[in-house]
């Protein structure tokens, strides 16, 4: 049972919430995490930990466990929908970063964070089965109400400050933006995991095609899962369709819904239909975000991660930005002298992070990492080319990639500085 009077309440035990708890504990600041699910399981599909995400996780001592559980990316490669090579670049340590770029099962990442939080903070500070209902404020206290998995009311929690880290569909955020809608522009996605022979180097992150006519993002997340050398390969399929309905969240997807889009994508180096048809699991998601807002902090409550800045899941940047939020906020809260009000720390955190993440949200819409594919499709009108150099130079493509890294915060200079 949770204590009723606490210092800092974190609503949501996902990547951002758990990272914040670990950062606070590291700095001697007590906090409690309240997670809706009764038991944390290894659910979901793949995620890429970019160098700026790994920097934050390494600071929490988690890098060895994450590297052991995933696959270090060697390169990122771009192809058109005809399977023709466009551009590639080395990634992570292979590109001179001090830190690796790692593909990993999202559930394994979450479990590593959760287990670390339980081990370091203790079971008494990590509360599962607490689904948020309401937050009210009076004077120097925020009062939280939760229900258990059966819908029964749990004891009220009184906290000095509340951090909402409850994801893209944040119930806490809805308290302050009740009429807000997701921004959906007709892009639906399907995510799958398939047992497959290594593709290209076996450590390649691939982007093929573009959203107007079908796009695949493919990368391995678990190596050598059987005696035949198969990997667990994560893939995400995207397409924009006029007048289409927004698909559901975390709903089981159907092979036939996605297979027909890519039925002709059989290249000499990859059979995309086979990758899709043999998936062990498929989930469908809408490609949505929300317009950046001009306020995260409301009295003693502030937002963090996807609850603060929901963005298109492109370039694995949502988790990275949540991890940076967590460290930034922890530093501000830890800097408050004992006995003084924590409220100014929330505003300092917001003043730093809100403008930076707003820019990432907008960039993920207009010039995302796969803008390379989009640009080439525009120049070729979707037709095959003789050689990519006839269309655009490698230097121009490299500049597109470098510009995105700078905005997202993981340029080589920024990480190694």
Q: pLDDT digit string (tens) for 110-155?
A: 999 999 999 999 999 999 999 999 999 998 999 999 999 999 999 9
In the prediction, which pLDDT does 43 show?
66
- Tell me what the mean pLDDT of segment 48-73 comes to: 95
The partner residues of 216 in beta bridges, in order of sequence, read 208, 237
- Tell me what the mean pLDDT of segment 343-371 comes to: 87
Does residue 315 contact residue 363 with C-beta atoms inside 8 Å? Answer: no
Alpha carbons 105 and 269: distance in angstroms, whole number: 24
Put the strands of the sheet holding 183-196 in their side by side order: 85-90, 75-79, 204-210, 214-222, 231-240, 183-196, 279-289, 251-252
| Residue 303 phi, psi dihedral angles, 5° rounding | -105, 155
Query: Which CATH code is given to the segment(s) 5-44+106-181+293-366?
Result: 3.50.50.60
- Tell me what the mean pLDDT of segment 99-112 comes to: 94
Given a cut of 80, is residue 394 above it in pLDDT?
yes
Which residue is it, tokens 């993981």?
410
Alpha carbons 176 and 290: distance in angstroms, whole number: 14
Spans of all domains in the chain: 5-44+106-181+293-366, 78-87+183-290+369-378
Which residue is it, tokens 């409301």?
298
In the prediction, which pLDDT does 246 show?
65
- Tell me what the mean pLDDT of segment 78-90 comes to: 96
- The domain defined by 78-87+183-290+369-378 folds into D-Amino Acid Oxidase; Chain A, domain 2 (3.30.9)
Alpha carbons 398 and 405: distance in angstroms, whole number: 11
Beta strands 183-196; 204-210: pairing state: unpaired
In the prediction, which pLDDT does 69 show?
94
Neighbours of 252 (CB within 10 A): 9
Structure tokens at 129: 């089965």
Which residue is it, tokens 């399929």?
237
Structure tokens at 377: 């499709």
Does residue 346 contact residue 161 with C-beta atoms inside 8 Å? Answer: yes
In the prediction, which pLDDT does 312 show?
76
| Residue 122 phi, psi dihedral angles, 5° rounding | 105, 150
If pLDDT is split at 50, 70 and 90, which confidence band does 44 have?
low
Alpha carbons 246 and 290: distance in angstroms, whole number: 14
In the prediction, which pLDDT does 392 show?
96
Alpha carbons 302 and 358: distance in angstroms, whole number: 16
| Alpha helix segments (H runs only) across 250-393 | 255-259, 272-277, 317-334, 343-366, 371-380
In the prediction, which pLDDT does 133 show?
97
pLDDT, tens digit, 9 for 90 and up, residues 302-354: 999 999 998 877 667 888 999 999 999 999 999 999 889 999 999 999 999 99
Higher confidence at residue 90 or residue 319?
90
- Tell me what the mean pLDDT of segment 26-52 comes to: 87
Q: Model's pTM, two decimal places?
A: 0.92
In the prediction, which pLDDT does 195 show?
95
pLDDT, tens digit, 9 for 90 and up, residues 47-59: 999 999 999 999 9
The partner residues of 112 in beta bridges, in order of sequence, read none
Neighbours of 315 (CB within 10 A): 23
In the prediction, which pLDDT does 249 show?
60
Alpha carbons 135 and 162: distance in angstroms, whole number: 9
In the prediction, which pLDDT does 183 show?
78
Does residue 7 contact residue 155 with C-beta atoms inside 8 Å? Answer: no
Which residue is it, tokens 């080395």?
90
Given a cut of 60, is residue 1 above it in pLDDT?
no
CA neighbor of 403 nearest in space, from 371, 379, 365: 371
If pLDDT is split at 50, 70 and 90, which confidence band does 163 have?
very high
Cα 271 to the chain's mean position, in Å? Answer: 27
In the prediction, which pLDDT does 42 show?
64
C-alpha torsion angle, residues 344, 350, 355, 356 (rounded to 10): 120
| Residue 259 phi, psi dihedral angles, 5° rounding | -60, -40
- Tell me what the mean pLDDT of segment 9-19 comes to: 96
Alpha carbons 5 and 222: distance in angstroms, whole number: 43
H or E element in which residue 25 lies: helix 15-26
């Amino acid at each position: 049972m949770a204590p009723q009077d606490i210092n800092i309440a974190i609503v949501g035990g996902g990547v951002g919430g758990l990272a914040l708890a670990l950062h606070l504990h590291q700095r001697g600041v007590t906090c409690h995490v309240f997670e809706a699910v009764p038991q944390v399981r290894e659910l979901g599909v793949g995620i890429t930990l970019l160098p700026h995400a790994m920097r934050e996780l390494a600071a929490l001592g988690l890098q060895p466990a994450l590297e052991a559980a995933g696959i270090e990316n060697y390169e990122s490669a771009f192809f058109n929908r005809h399977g023709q090579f466009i551009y590639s670049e080395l990634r992570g340590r292979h590109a001179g970063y001090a830190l690796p770029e790692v593909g990993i099962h999202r559930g394994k990442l979450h479990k590593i964070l959760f287990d670390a939080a339980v081990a370091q903070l203790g079971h008494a500070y990590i509360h599962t089965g607490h689904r948020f209902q309401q937050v009210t404020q009076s004077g120097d206290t925020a009062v939280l109400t939760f229900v258990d998995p059966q819908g029964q009311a749990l004891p009220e929690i009184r906290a000095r400050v509340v951090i909402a880290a409850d994801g893209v569909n944040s119930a806490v955020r809805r308290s302050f933006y009740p009429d807000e809608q997701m921004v959906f522009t007709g892009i639906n996605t399907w995510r799958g995991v398939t047992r497959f022979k290594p593709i290209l180097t076996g450590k390649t992150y691939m982007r093929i095609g573009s959203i107007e006519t079908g796009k695949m993002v493919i990368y391995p997340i678990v190596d050598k899962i059987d005696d035949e050398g198969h990997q667990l390969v994560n893939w995400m399929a995207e397409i924009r369709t006029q007048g289409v309905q927004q698909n559901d969240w975390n709903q089981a997807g159907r092979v036939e819904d996605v297979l027909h889009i890519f039925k002709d994508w059989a290249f000499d180096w990859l059979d995309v239909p086979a990758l899709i048809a043999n998936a062990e699991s498929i989930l469908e998601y809408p490609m949505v975000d929300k317009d950046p807002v001009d306020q995260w902090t409301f009295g003693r409550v502030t937002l963090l991660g996807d609850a603060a800045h929901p963005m298109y899941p492109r370039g694995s940047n949502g988790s990275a930005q949540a991890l940076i939020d967590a460290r930034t906020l922890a530093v501000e809260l830890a800097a408050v002298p004992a006995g003084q009000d924590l409220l100014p720390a929330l505003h300092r955190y917001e003043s730093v992070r809100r403008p930076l993440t707003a820019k990432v949200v907008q960039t993920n819409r207009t010039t995302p990492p796969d803008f390379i594919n989009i640009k080439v499709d525009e120049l070729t009108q979707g037709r095959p080319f003789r050689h990519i150099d006839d269309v655009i130079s490698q230097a121009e493509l490299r500049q597109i990639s470098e510009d995105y890294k700078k905005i997202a915060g993981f340029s080589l200079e920024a990480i190694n500085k």
